[in-house]
Structure 1
Amino acid sequence: MNLQFILGNFALILFVAMVLTGIIYFLDIFVLAKQRRAAADTALAAFDARNAKNEAEGIKSDNASRHAIEVALLRQPTWIEYSGSFFPVIALVFVLRSFLYEPFKIPTSSMVPTLLVGDLILVNKFTYGVRLPIINKKIIDVNDPQRGDVMVFKYPKDMSQDYIKRVVGIPGDKITYENKRLTVNGKELAYAPMEDYLDDDSPVYHKQFTEDLGGVAHRILNDEDKASLNLPLVDQSFPRHEACSYTVEKITCTVPEGNYFMMGDNRDNSADSRYWGFVPNKNIVGKAFLVWMNLDNPMKRIGAIR
């Protein structure tokens, strides 16, 4: 069992562990503990009978041995004791992780400068609705993703992988990306230049801008040595691919109902909807809202995600 399998199926593994430890926990409460109590009562009754006979013969009762017998017979076997200890913890983690908040670690630089490699983030699992764990089926509607949200979702081409990108297009939007600028429904977004960004992983400066996406101002990076779109990398067989048209420097897509168009803030170093298509509602995991630590920058990387 490799690490990718474990991470991709952690919710399932956690669920199985919760069920198994829960079965043992409740089996002990309702069945096994009663059996141990009955066995102890039988043994103690026999012990008391022997003590009564000994006392009749003038032999002093051994109450210490009586207590030791009771403790030994009522003691939980080790496997039951550990299961009983782990079950409440596993159940709490499963509920918190499935319905409230889930932690993630940023593995790549596709969301730089907003999120750095190694950032430990929290994702709100109920912002976009309550979903059943494992199957990720929505059962209660709350809110829909909005342009500018930083969202975690299941990668459409491999549901075992979690991706994080920014929502740039919601259902019905017409998205055009040309000359490294976004146009949404015919209106080009506002861009303000900033000081060049120095990549921590290599001594390379990137052009940095503030992009205003539906009132959500955030930073993006551009690499002047790269084209707006690497056309050979585009998978034009993704579901609803007919909603998009491509040229060497331009992509235009009309976002289908129930789908979202996602892009990384590190625009020229992000594999996103430009290359593998739309993210359907069923793939949504939650909204990223907080960086709570980065082991390389423990204090500097704490704060809300914009």
Structure 2
Amino acid sequence: MAGYFSIFLVLLTLASGLIWLIDHLVYAPKRKQLIALAEGASGKPLDEELKEEIAPVPVLTEHAKSIFPMIAIITLFRSFLFEPFQIPSGSMMPTLLVGDFILVQKYSYGIKDPVWRSELVATGKPERGDIAVFKFPPKPDLDFIKRVIGLPGDTIVYRNKQLYIKPHCEQGQAEQGSLLCGEYNKIALDIINKDEFMQGSQQLVRLEEDLDGLKHDILINPRLPEFKSKYYQQQGTKIDEWVVPEGHYFMMGDNRDNSEDGRAWGFVPEPNLVGKAVFIWMSFEFENTADDFLPSWVPTSVRFERLGNIQ
């Protein structure tokens, strides 16, 4: 839906701009000529009301001239700078919650045209630990949001709720950041609490994960077995191991046992990247139930404490 809206904005901008331009070059001079002839015949300047009667501006032209500047600014801002995005599910808990409204920095991973999404200017690549919005590979009209875990050439293992990363390194390189080259680095985990979040009737464990120096919180359900039968099986690797192809990235949700991510469908091609999630600008609580007067989509409170930069 976000892709269709982008196309709609571009088409609306082009249409209103074209109408304004044609009127400015062709029809506005003709209206001025008619008014000049009328003023010459009467021998005195005409008031605005009479000018409008003699040479009226078409309604479509008036609307196009009024909306074009605003629509053009919105299109440029949304296409090349920042795009608003609403968190639709709990797959990125506890980092992002349902009801969070975020800004996605569009130029983080290259400036792209808003229609065909071809790269116009290269500005950067995803880094391990980024929270990225991307076009869902199996269904590119959907936008997904996950954390970047694996970079091109990395080997990722997720086994017994534990993440391991063997980074891709250049010949002779001993370390990549805090990760040792040639080894499966066990990503450090520290328990924060066990009673803050629930999945149904089961308590989730909140842990701090140190992903190559970037510390962030994740959730796991220790009682829920890993869904290995649904894992994406890459040829030549074990069922819980993935080697990231060149030009692709491996993504995972922070809510590890409640996230449809790269473990289930594989890798994100670089052209699918939309941008980096950088800021929570609004966060609503939705607590209305079926028994309440107001529908469930009406916010019940604002979580002001959540506003700010995304870690």
Deviation at 1:8, TM superposition (A): 3.9
Q: Name the structure 1 match of 2:278.
A: 289
The superposition leaves residues 263-294 of structure 1 with CA deviations (integer Å, 9 ceiling, x where unpaired) of 00000000000001100000000000111111
The superposition leaves residues 49-95 of structure 1 with CA deviations (integer Å, 9 ceiling, x where unpaired) of xxxxxxxxxxxxxx586664324334422221111111111111111
Cα 1:193–1:76 shift into 2, 3 Å: same
**Alignment-mate amino acid for residue 248 of structure 2:** N
Per mean C-alpha deviation after superposition, the further-off stretch among 170-179 and 141-150 is 141-150
Cα 1:202–1:179 shift into 2, 3 Å: closer
Where is the helix percentage greater, Structure 1 or Structure 2?
A: 1
Percent identity between matched residues is 38
1:243 touches 1:254 (CA, 8 Å); kept in 2?
A: no
Q: Does 1:36 align with 2:25?
A: no
Cα 1:267–1:70 shift into 2, 3 Å: same
Per mean C-alpha deviation after superposition, the further-off stretch among 196-205 and 20-29 is 196-205
Indicate the structure (1 or 2) with the bigger Cα radius of gyration: 1
1:109 touches 1:115 (CA, 8 Å); kept in 2?
A: yes
1:18 touches 1:87 (CA, 8 Å); kept in 2?
A: yes
Q: Name the structure 1 match of 2:222.
A: 224
The superposition leaves residues 196-219 of structure 1 with CA deviations (integer Å, 9 ceiling, x where unpaired) of 253378565211110010111000
Structure 1, unaligned runs of 5 or more: 49-62
Q: TM-score by structure 1 length?
A: 0.85
The superposition leaves residues 216-272 of structure 1 with CA deviations (integer Å, 9 ceiling, x where unpaired) of 1000000122222341x3455xxxx326431xxxx1011010000000000000000
Q: TM-score by structure 2 length?
A: 0.84
Q: Name the structure 2 match of 1:15.
A: 10
**Alignment-mate amino acid for residue 235 of structure 2:** E
Per mean C-alpha deviation after superposition, the further-off stretch among 193-202 and 102-111 is 193-202
2:39 touches 2:46 (CA, 8 Å); kept in 1?
A: no
Q: Name the structure 2 match of 1:113.
A: 94
Residue number among 205, 210, 213 corresponding to 1:212 in the alignment: 210
Q: Name the structure 1 match of 2:57.
A: 76
Tell me how far apart the structure 2 counterparts of residues 244 and 147 of structure 1 sit (CA, whole Å): 22
RMSD (Å) for aligned C-alpha atoms: 1.9
**Alignment-mate amino acid for residue 68 of structure 2:** F
Residue 143 of structure 1 aligns to a residue whose secondary structure is coil
Cα 1:197–1:286 shift into 2, 3 Å: farther
**Alignment-mate amino acid for residue 91 of structure 2:** S
2:219 touches 2:254 (CA, 8 Å); kept in 1?
A: yes
Cα 1:200–1:190 shift into 2, 3 Å: closer
Structure 2, unaligned runs of 5 or more: 167-183, 286-301
**Alignment-mate amino acid for residue 219 of structure 1:** D
Tell me how far apart the structure 1 counterparts of residues 29 and 6 of structure 2 sit (CA, whole Å): 33
Tell me how far apart the structure 2 counterparts of residues 135 and 169 of structure 1 sit (CA, whole Å): 26
Residue 15 of structure 1 aligns to a residue whose secondary structure is helix
**Alignment-mate amino acid for residue 199 of structure 1:** F
2:208 touches 2:218 (CA, 8 Å); kept in 1?
A: yes
Tell me how far apart the structure 2 counterparts of residues 301 and 46 of structure 1 sit (CA, whole Å): 68
Residue number among 176, 179, 187 corresponding to 1:189 in the alignment: 187
Q: Name the structure 2 match of 1:299.
A: 304
Cα 1:282–1:65 shift into 2, 3 Å: closer
Q: Does 1:104 align with 2:85?
A: yes
Q: Name the structure 2 match of 1:198.
A: 196
Q: Name the structure 2 match of 1:161.
A: 142
Deviation at 1:117, TM superposition (A): 0.4
Q: Name the structure 1 match of 2:173.
A: none
Aligned residues: 278
